[in-house]
Amino acid sequence: MAVDSPRVATALDTNVIVAGLLPWHEHYEVAAVQLIGLLESRIEIVLPLPVLVEAYSVMTRLPPPRRLASKDAIEILKRSFRHRVTLVGLDGNEGWDLIEDLGRRSITGGTAYDGLILACARKGGARRLLTFNRSHFERIATDEIEIVVPGTTAAQD
């Protein structure tokens, strides 16, 4: 899949957002290149609501001196994504459907949050998810969404 392919809807995970927006992060270069490529392309970008909230949470709870003030975290997230992404959360019964599906599949604990991110990405029409935690999502993903690590060949194809 080409990064500039006009119809490949792509969802973002928290770790790609945090790494791509904070220059001191160990994955900054590869994540920033990927984010800039997406943001400058015609690709639809799906931002699962729990990812947005978690990115804000991470940025505002980092140890000093890397911790951002809430207003700064909000500003960088808004400036980077607000007018370019489709923010997707689950509604009412979709949440119940999700936890019933997770239960049927014996998905428990923290992996349930990854299930929520995937559910929001699917709802938004994403066909791939960019994350540095491939193994977290591969355990629960379906064939509907490709799990891609920025900087790998799959992310560049």
**pTM of full prediction above 0.75:** yes
How confident is the model at residue 5, as a pLDDT? 45
The domain total for the chain is 1
The structure tokens 């290149």 sit at: 33
**What are the CA-CA distances from residue 57 to residues 2, 103, 149 (Å)?**
31, 27, 22
The parent domain of residue 93 ranges over 10-53+86-156
**Low-confidence residues in the chain, pLDDT < 50:** 1-6
Is 73 among the domain residues? no
Could you tell me what percent of the chain has a pLDDT over 90? Answer: 87
Is 62 among the domain residues? no
How confident is the model at residue 141, as a pLDDT? 87
**What are the CA-CA distances from residue 137 to residues 7, 10, 78 (Å)?**
22, 15, 26
The structure tokens 């949440």 sit at: 95
Is 74 among the domain residues? no
How confident is the model at residue 156, as a pLDDT? 53
Q: pLDDT tens across 44-78, in order?
A: 999 999 999 999 999 999 999 999 999 999 999 99
Is 112 among the domain residues? yes
Is 146 among the domain residues? yes
Here the tokens at position 87 are: 């923010």
How many residues are present in the chain?
157
